[in-house]
Each structure stands twice: as structure tokens, then as C-alpha cells.
Structure 1
Amino acid sequence: MTETSDRLHDKNGETDEASSVPDEEELAFNHPGGDSLEIADLLTGRTMARRLPSLIRRTFSLAWEVDRKAVIALLACQIVSGISGALGLFATTEALAVLIETAHNTSRLPAAIPAVAVLAGTAGLRALLGIAIQALSNRLSPRIQREAEYKMLEAATNAEQAAYDHPGFNDRFDAAERGVEVSRDMIGQSQNYVSSLATLIAAAVVLASLYPLLLPLLLLAAVPQAVASIRGERITYLAVVATHKDRRVKTMLRWHLIAKNQSDQIRTDTLAPYLLKKYTVSAERVEATSNTAAWDRAKIAIVGAAATGLASSLVWGAVFLLLGTGRISAAAAGTAVFALRSAATGLQGLVGYGRDLMRTGFYLDDWERFVTEAAGQRLDRGDLTPQRPRHIALRNVTFRYPEADQDTLHNVDFEVRQGEIVAVVGENGSGKSTLMKLLSGLNLPTSGVVTWDGISIADLDPHAVWRQTSVVPQDFARWPMTARENISLGQQRAEGDAAIHRAARSSGADDVIKTLRSGLGTLLAREFWGGVALSPGQWQRIAVARPAHRDAGLLVMDEPTSDLDPRAEHRIFTGLRDMAGDRAVVLVTHNLANTSTADRIVVLDKGRVVQEGTFHELVNQPGLMQELWQLQQDRAAYRSEGEE
């Protein structure tokens, strides 16, 4: 424990209980994606030389898809810029030669004008080309990001719902999002890398033309600098990886310490000192690792600078030797100085931009892997368009989630007809939510068949099925849209707002709308989005109004009144029969009194249908329904269970 931690520890008079607890798990942020030791292992000169060309090709291929003209213009500007750089260096030789002669004969000064004009022209041209290159990159970057994001979202939304149940799918989606974020940087990094390469090549061509021996000497001087730069960047990146979890933990703890949602509990639970201690521990680990990395990089930089200085001495010695022996002129020697500096700049750019491009490329790999995976689980069903369903049935249906050890549903038979309300009850984990997903076509059964009017749901167009389905899940969406959009879900009916108000009255949402500052036009979102925050009960009224507005043939409601007061709950269930007039309604609830409105009740236990009948039949015969009903009616039963 450091001095800072000790002061905090002593000030609050607490003991570090966490350290005395055996096998205590430590808070850590485990996020898949680009920040990994794998990338650090690949930050070598050989790997970068092998991988970077393919990354640049992939970047320009993606850019080619969104704007071919801009890509052609960008490449043309890069080529012309590289050529003009070489011409400028060649013109330097002639200009210096004339200027040297002018020291003894001023009448030769006008002879330098053409060379100086070329120098000025190439410099101005390169400046203009640099502006054009930057503008083209800025034009392409957001379009590349938009294209990458669209491909990711399109792949995700058109994948089977079961894809989300595959282990790691959501983690890979998170990693792909990071790939989308950095995709806009790819074109800028690629063009900067190409520009640095063009600068280095131009300088090398000029040096080779002045005296071929200078070219291998340039490479000799470049190698130590390149090796030191790559190793230094690797150390820095390893430090980033090593501190990644602690930095994210710091961010998370900072949020919990100051966020409004738990600010009251931070105070009443006197939790701030304990969380601050955790924050300090993570912060000190980050600082220690960063300091070590900075020192290690400094040592490598010193060695690299010494080696580069020695190699540069050889280069300059060669230039002076060539100059002294008359093999090159003083003007050529001056040009060599400019060329060597230009080459050094180009080399530094190759290392720096190459490192950035490598890291961005790995994030883009995450994006590409997810798009490919989601495409492999794309919706691939029939194309029949169902009408408003009159009869929906499960026949001998078994369902198991991907990678699960056992079935969630076992040989289930279930049916619901138009105008009928069927309630589904059971304890937690009995398979109720899974049954709802099968009924609405979100998942396909592992075995058995789900039919709509006798047609297997696998043969129906899934989008057409969902247009005939209205679902109010227990964890319903709170869309950051207006109240109007949150009820209509962007699908207006011919009656317009009249239909929305009618739906709102059926759920009690009209009372909520009356209190909103702009009525149906009020944005329902957290304050920092400029909207109005609703209570859980108010949100549930909005959610229950959605199926009343949506003209769908199947209505599935999973705990639709869990956050409502008795008056609002009564209002919804008294209107449920009207909603079932031309709909097939399936109701999931733990409040068994509400099942009395159903025509039939299906009882699930451990994924099997164990009872079926009316409310009065099931509460008056031995079985799970009667047992659950008696527990809800007899509060003493809860107390006796607690004492046991």
C-alpha cells in the first residue's frame, strides 16, 4: 500500500477487509478487441512490412466502395506530390551550384532563377496538394465509417435472434463497434503512410543519383532509428495493454462516485471512502506501469540515438570524403544534406503511421469477423406471407439454447386461437420467455414445429410474421423518441394521433401524456439528451399502449403490469378482453389473480407443460397452480418459510 493509500486508510479508520477474504474476485474490465498482447507481439519490423501493404489495400478498397472519384484523386495527388518532392531536391543541386559560383562572380546570380523557380513551384505545388489530400481524406473518412457501421448494423439486425444467444456474440459485437469507430482513421493513416513512403523514395532516388554509395549508407543510418522506434512503440503499447483494465476500472468507479442515480446511496451507505480506496489502487498501478514504460523507452531511445549518431557519422564522413576527393560537388553535398533530412522525416513517418495503421487494422479485423459471423447466421426462412393468424400452435416442441447443457423446453404442446386469452404461469426458469419467443417467431424450435394456421413458421417470411406480432416484454424498450413515436413505433395509422390517443387511454398512458410539456411531441429521454425522464410505471403504461395501437394478430404480454399501481393495473386488465376481440392473446404473469381474465391457463414447470385449464379449475385441484396461488394468498406461508 502506498503512502497515499495509507493516509486514506488511516483517515477513515477502516481495515482492509477485502484482503482477508479468501478467493476474493477483483474488479477488472475484460473487453475483447484490438487492445491485446497479440498486437504487441506483431509490432515488429518484419511483421509490419508484411502486413501493412494488405491493410492499405483493404483501406483503399473500402474507400473505393464509397467514393471512387475521391480515391482516384487522392492517389493522383500523392503521386504528383512525390514526384514534385524529387524534382525539388534535384533543383536544389542546380540552385546551390549557382549560388556557390556567385560568391566569386555575382554576374552568375540570374542563372539561379530557373532552379529557384522550380524550387518555389514544387514547394507551392506540394503545399496545395497537401491541402487537397487532407480535404479528400476528410471527405472519405466519415463515409467509410458510415459504410462500416451500416454493414455491421445490417448484418446484426438481419441475423437470427438465436445469434445473440451464442457465447461471445455480444462481445464480438462490442469489439466490432470499436472497429467502426476507428475505421474513419484508416484512410488518413494510410495516406500519411503512403506520403511518408513517397518522401523516403524521393530522397533515396536523389541520393542514388548524386552518388550510388550514399544509398546503402542511408539505409545503414536508418536501421538503428527504425529498430529503436519500433521497440519503443512496442513498450508503450504493452504499457497501454497492461493498464487497460485499471484505466477502465477508474472510469467506472469515477462514474459510480459522482452519478446522480446512486449519489444518495454513496452517502447513506458511507461508501465513498471504500470506493476511493479502490480508485487509488487502480490509479497507482497505472502510474507505476507508465513510469516503468517511460524509463524503458528512454533507455532504448538513448541506445538508438547513439547507434543512429554513429551511423550518421559514417554517412557524413562519406559525404565529406566524397566532397574532399572531388567525387561530388559542394552543391551536390548540400543537396545530400536536404535529402538525408527528408529521408529521416519519411522514415519516422513510416514507423509512426505504420504503428497506428497496424493497431487500427486489428480493430478493423474485429469488425470484419463480426460481419462475417452475423452474415453466416442471416435470416434464411421461407417467403410465404401470413395473414392475421387464427390459430397458432406448438407441436411437440423442444428448444435448447446454443452451447446449453440441457433443453429449456421439452416436448411442449401449446395453442392459442383468435379472440382467446391464454395465460402462461410458472416459476422462474420454467421456460415462459422462451415459449413467447417461439410463438412470435423470434426463435425456431430445436425439434417439433410451430405453426401459424397450419403453416410452419420456418416457411413464413419472418418480417411478415413480425408485422402481425405485438410483444410487450418484461424488459421493454424505452426509446429515446417522442411519446408519439414511443407508442406508434414510427408506424402511423390512418387516423393519425386519434389512434394514438385511443391506445393511450386503454393503458392509462393518456394520464401520463397530459402531464408532459409538449404532449405527444415530448421527447422521452434522459435529461442530458434534452428529454423528459419518466418513472418505471409511466414507462410501462406507454409500453402497454403500443400493442393497442399496433394492428397485429398476435399479442404477447410478459408481466405487463409489474410496475403499475392497482388502479392502472385494473384499467389494463379490464380492457384486455376488448383487445382480444380479433387477436390471439398470450399473457405471462406472476400475479395469479390477473390470470382469472384468461380463457385458459397453461402451467409450465422446468420446461414442461404440467397443467392446463381455467382459473377456477386449476386453483381448486392439487398441482403447481394451486400451490402458487395459496402462497400468494397466505402471507403467513412466506414467514414460516423464512423461519425454516
Structure 2
Amino acid sequence: MADETAVNDTDTAPQQHAEELRFNYNGGDTSELAQHLTGRNLSSRLPKLVRRSFALAWAADRCSTLVLLTCQVLSGLLEALGLFATTATLSALIYSVQDPAHLRTALPSVLVLAAAAGLRAVLGIAIQGLSNRLGPRISREAEYRMLEAATNAEMAAYDHPGFNDRYDKADRGVEVSRDMIGQSQNLVSSLATLIAAAVVITALAPLLLPLLALTAVPQALASVAGERVTYLATLRTFHDRRMLNMLRWHLTHKDQADQIRTDTLAPYLLDKYRASGARVDRTNDQAAWQRAKISFVGSAVSGLASALMWAGVMVLLGAGHISAAAAGTLVFALRSASGGLHGIVGYGSDLMRTGRYMDDWESFIEEAAGQRLDRGDIVPVRPLHVALHRVTYRYPEADHDTLHEVDFAVRQGEIVAVVGENGSGKTTLMKLLSGLNLPTQGVVTWDGISTRDLDPHALWKQCAVVPQEFARWPLSARENIHLGQPQREADDAVRRAAGASGADAVISVLRSGLDTLLAREWWGGQALSSGQWQRIAGARAIHRDAGLLVMDEPTSDLDPRAEHRIFTGLRRLARDRAIVLVTHNLANTIVADRIVILEGGRVTAEGTFPDLISRPGLFRDLWLLQQDRANSSAQEDTT
């Protein structure tokens, strides 16, 4: 009785060592990053960020970028010209108090001021329009580079922990990249305003320049410190924000909608969503309060420096070091300079924030480039013999080998079935045969040539794969079969492939035949069942007319009639192909010339169907288990 109580207590007690759901992302140590988020390091980055922004703009639209830069330069020159004309205008106005005839001397200066203001307004409109034009193009350019890097990386890259998370962070960089050109041009514009004003101030009262700089330095330092607080808060909440995205997807996606309801799982997942959101809110609230205190101190010190600067103008005027007209010009110049400084601080902060996301984008592209397809350039022909020679494969950072010293071969005209329990390495074997992955040890050869030495894109043209998780492209039925690579016979070739896989029965009931869109959720197309989609997936593999056909559980969702149709047609397909078949339905392996047994990543047996069921081993055990279910049902019926 005591033992029973102990067992019950163990069953009902909370698991103290249960693993917590966390995203495996190696994003760097936050304390180390904090050391680099300093005023010196971040301010030195601004020129690099501006160059990156205009480099992307140049790649996206050279003409618009060149015009934008020209407008920025002209706007800065007109700013300086207007400030210099201000002195002459004010001087004439002051002297006109004693002699109205001096008003005429102010006319040229007034015209210069009006012309400069008008042209700057026109240039401002042009600059804004060009920035709006370039923004979406920059975003598209950044996204294209990211997609190009991802699609040209080795498949093994996706198995590295954190690769997909880093892709998501890079995607955030793509989203904000459209803002970079606007922030950069605003920063450049503020810098141009500051330079124009500084030139005027230097000509009239150079002693005021240090005081002018002092008004901006405290706010700049406060801005940098605030950005550091915000960024570190973003890092601390990264895992919870990823959790929120994941939970939102699972709660609302169609594929899980039925189970969310029948399993009454929504309240439990919503509680997890609320808990993650609460942690994000607490961290953000702390960061917001800390940043507000930093901003208050920076603004207070900057305000004190500003008061000293204006006091300096009054002292210079009272001491007779500058004229009243010069003092008036200094007022305008100092206001312009102050606006330029504050613009540099503000837009610089925005650009640095965007730049951090763009750093994630750039890091991902560099990471993907480091795992870029870098193989040989030999173009393979239709393979006659594909083989693995003592091949070992271990996924990145895995604890053990998935395949270990595997020898395997398939020849043109031959059907080889691969059988094994879950986790035995069958799918990994398929990926190695089709060149998706390269072996950790050993060699995979096509007609004696290592897949490392073959052009991967040319290899894949000679390979057709029906994976377990087949793609359901939001395209027409025709495009879902020919995949943008139609043959000379066009629709005739598509229909032949559909007939071989049983997809012709699917196409015959579609409202527009091959022209039917298979994407109801997106574009009003027609939805298919899983079994119908699997027939389409089989048709696309057959349509490729490749020398190697790899089929990984190709009939798992099919009814018996459709399954029979595919397997009875395999022998005809094998006339000019090498076919590798993975299936758990052992009755289907009867069509194979050879059956290879995988256990724990090793080949433990090989032979024909009659041979393997006649001798002890895994194949015979699995076959008897499948027959046992049928025999048990028959015995129940007789009783």
C-alpha cells in the first residue's frame, strides 16, 4: 500500500526537471554587446551605415540615388547662401531706420533669400519624393539578397541550431531597410544644415562654436545610452517574442484548427501566450522608465548649455564685438545649427536602431555565404549507377551519427526498396542519394564521380524526389506538375505524368482542369485533400523525367486503389530510371528488385522479398506484425 502511494505521488507531482520550451539561438552575450554600445563606437558607425544605405540605394536605382545626392548638396549650399544673405538684409534694414533710402540696397539680398528659400523648398519636395521612391526598392533589393543567400546555401545549413531564427531576425532587417534611405538623407540634410550654419558662425563669431557643440553632446550621449537600454531589452525579450509568434501561428493556422477545438487546447496555449506577453511587457516597462530618466538628464544639461550659448551672443553684442545685423544673422545661424545638431542626434539614433537590424541581415547573408553551395562543376548525365561507399552522416551538433558506414547502390532499370523503423535514417539516406546533403565521411557517387565534384544544380535536374512533406504550391494544377519547367510536349507530358500517378482523376474533377488555382485560402482557388495533393506530388516527380527517382513514403495518404496504380506502374518507369523507394507498407516492396534494411543508421540486411521473409530478421518481424493485425481481425470476425 505504501508503494502504491509513492507511485501515485510521483505521478501527480510536478516535473521539476522538465525542459523549458526555448528557441535555440546563439545571438551573442548581452553583457558583451553592451560594452560595444558606446558613444564612440556607435558614432563611428554612422558613416558606415550611411554608406550601406546609399550602396543599397545605388544597387536598387542608380539614377534616383544620384539625383538625391545632388539635391542634398544643392540644398546645403543654398542654406549657407541664405544665411550669408541674411546679414546684408538685416544691415540694410537697420540702416533704413535712419535713412529709408537704404531699403533699396536690401532688395538684392531679399531676392537671394527668397530664391534660396524657394529652391530649397523645391529640392525638399524632390528629396522626399526620391526617398519614397527608393525605400521600397531598397527593401526589395535587401530581400532579394537574403533569399538568394538562403536558397544557395547547403541544405545542412537549415540543421544548424539558430539558422532559422537568424533568418527571422534578418527578415526584420529587410522590413526596416526601406526606412534607411529616409533616415540617411535626413541625417545628411541635418549635417548639411549644420555645416552651412557653422561656416556662417565661424565667419561671425567663432567663439560660439564650442558652446554650440556643448548643447548637442549631452543629448547625443543620452540618446546613445537610451538606445543601449532599448536594444538590450530587445535582446532579453527575443525568446518570448519568438514564443508569441509561434503560439499565434499554432492557435490560428488551419492545419491545427480542428485539434485546437477537439483537444480543448486553446485555454492552455492562451495562458502560455499571456505569460510570455507579460514577461515582454515587464522588460519593456523597465527599459522605458530607465530611458525616460536618461533623456531627462540629457535634456536638462543640454538646456543649460543652450542658455550659456545665447548669453554669449548677448555678451558679444553688448561688448561691441559684433554688429546688430551680425547678431541677427547669428540668431538664425545658431537656430539652424541647433536644428542640424538635434537632427543628427535624432536621425542618427533612428539610423543606428535600423542599422542593428541591418547588421542581423548582413550577418545572416554572411553566414549563408559561408555555407554556400561550393562544389564541383562537372555536369552529370542521366546516372546509370548511384552509390554510397562507407558513408557516415551526422547532423550539425547532433550527439550521434544518423547513418554509420553505409554501403548502398542502385542502378538504372532497378527498383531498390529501403525499409526500417522510425529514426533508422531512411530519409537521411534519400537526401544523400539526391545530393541534398554531403556525407560527413565516405563518398556518394554518381557513375563513379563524387557528388562533391558535381554541379549541384545540374545534379538536381537529373533527380526527382517525392518527399514525405511535399510542397503545396499556390499555383495552377499545371504549374504544380511542371514546376515552371515544361517539356516540349507541354500539356501532353503533364497529362502523361498525371496518368502515371493517378493525378488525372484529380484534374478531371477540378473546375478548370489544369488551369485551376490550387490555393483557395489565398486567391480563391480550389482546395485539395492530402491524398489528392500526394498524387500531384507524384506527377511532378514523374514529369521531370530524371534519371534518379527517389520516393519517400509516396503513398502514405493514398487510398488502396490509387496506391495500387502507382506501384504497378513503377516497373515501367524503371526502364530508364534508377528508383529508390521508402515505404512502411511491406507489401509494396514486392515490386522491388532488392530490399535494403536499415537499423539504427546501419545496413543490417539486403535481399529480395521472398528471401527476407524466409529468414529471421527485422523485415520478417515487421512483416509478421503487419499480418498479425489482419489475422487478429479475421479471428475476431469468426468468433
The answer as to 2:24 corresponding to 1:55 is: no
Aligned-residue CA RMSD (Å) = 3.0
Provide the residue aligned with 1:415 in structure 2. 409
Q: 2:568 matched to which residue of 1? A: 574
Of 506, 514, 525, which aligns to 1:520?
A: 514
CA contact (8 A) 1:421 1:600 kept: yes
Q: Does 1:563 align with 2:557?
A: yes
Task: Tell me the distance in 1 between the aligned counterparts of 2:272 and 2:372.
Answer: 44
Contact 1:470 1:556 in 2 (8 A): yes
Supply the AA of the counterpart residue of 1:174. Answer: D
Deviations 1:358-399 (A, max 9, x none): 233233333333333333333343333333222222233333
Query: How many angstroms does 1:510 deviate by?
Result: 1.8
AA paired with 2:181? Answer: I
Please state whether the residue corresponding to 1:299 is helix, strand or coil.
helix
Q: TM-score of the superposition, structure 1-length normalised?
A: 0.88
| Equivalence for 1:3 | none
CA deviation profile, 1:14-47 (whole Å, cap 9, x unmatched): xxxx996534555556666699676655443222
Question: Are 1:395 and 2:389 matched, yes or no?
Answer: yes
Aligned CA distance change for structure 1 residues 520 and 19 (closer, same or farther; 3 Å): farther
Which position in structure 1 is the counterpart of 2:181? 187
The answer to whether structure 1 residue 169 and structure 2 residue 163 are counterparts is: yes
Distance 1:197 1:42 in 2: 25
How much does 1:585 deviate? 0.9
CA-to-partner distance for each residue in 1:531-551, whole Å, 9 max, x for gaps? 333221111111011122121
Matches within 5 A, 1:241-640: 241-635=235-629
Structure-1 separation of matches of 2:234 and 2:249:
21
Provide the residue aligned with 1:160 in structure 2: 154
Tell me the CA shift for residue 603 of structure 1. Answer: 0.8
Does the 8 Å CA contact 2:503/2:535 hold for their aligned counterparts? yes
Deviates more, 1:90-99 or 1:360-369: 360-369
String of CA shifts for 1:483-518, please: whole Å, max 9, x gaps: 111111111112211221221122221222223232
Cα deviation digits, residues 381-418 of structure 1 (max 9, x gap)? 33333332222222333333344443332332222222
The reply on whether 1:113 has 2:118 as its aligned counterpart is: no
Asked if residue 201 in structure 1 is aligned to residue 181 in structure 2, the reply is no
- The question of whether the paired residues in 1 share the 8 Å contact of 2:24 and 2:162 is answered with no
Identity of aligned residues (%): 70
Are the aligned partners of 1:39 and 1:362 in contact in 2 as well (CA < 8 Å)? Answer: no
Give CA-to-partner distance per residue, 1:70-94, whole Å, 9 cap, x none. Answer: 4433322222211111111122222
**Is the Cα contact below 8 Å between 2:152 and 2:372 reproduced in 1?**
yes
Q: Paired residue for 1:97, among 91, 112, 116? A: 91
Query: Equivalent residue of 1:634, what SS?
Result: helix
**Counterpart Cα distance in 1 of 2:248 and 2:153:** 36
For residues 25 and 461 of structure 1, do their structure 2 counterparts lie closer, same or farther at Cα, with a shift above 3 Å needed?
closer
Query: Take 2:394 and 2:118, find their aligned partners in 1: how far apart are those partners?
Result: 68
Pick closer, same or farther for the CA change 1:496–1:413 going to 2, 3 Å. same
> TM-score, with normalisation over the residues of structure 2?
0.89
In the alignment, is the contact (CA less than 8 A) between 1:35 and 1:241 conserved in 2? no
- The 1-side partners of 2:279 and 2:57 are apart by 41
Q: Distance in 1 between matches of 2:32 and 2:128?
A: 32
Q: Is the 8 A contact 1:381 1:458 kept in 2?
A: yes
Gaps of 5+ in 2: 1-11, 634-639
Rounded to whole Å, the distance in 1 between the matches of 2:487 and 2:630 is 50
Q: Is contact 2:223-2:349 (8 Å) kept?
A: no
Q: Distance between the aligned counterparts of 1:31 and 1:205, measured in 2?
A: 50
Distance in 1 (CA, whole Å) between partners of 2:23 and 2:603 is: 41
SS in 1 for 2:452: helix
Consecutive unaligned residues in structure 1, runs of 5 or more: 1-17, 640-644
Name the SS of the counterpart of 2:569 in structure 1.
helix
Letter in 2 for 1:130: G
The CA distance in 2 between the partners of 1:323 and 1:337, in whole Å, is: 12
**Greater Cα shift, 193-202 or 27-36:** 27-36
Any residues of structure 2 matched to 1:223-234 within 5 Å, and which? 223-234=217-228
The one-letter amino acid of 2:169's match is A
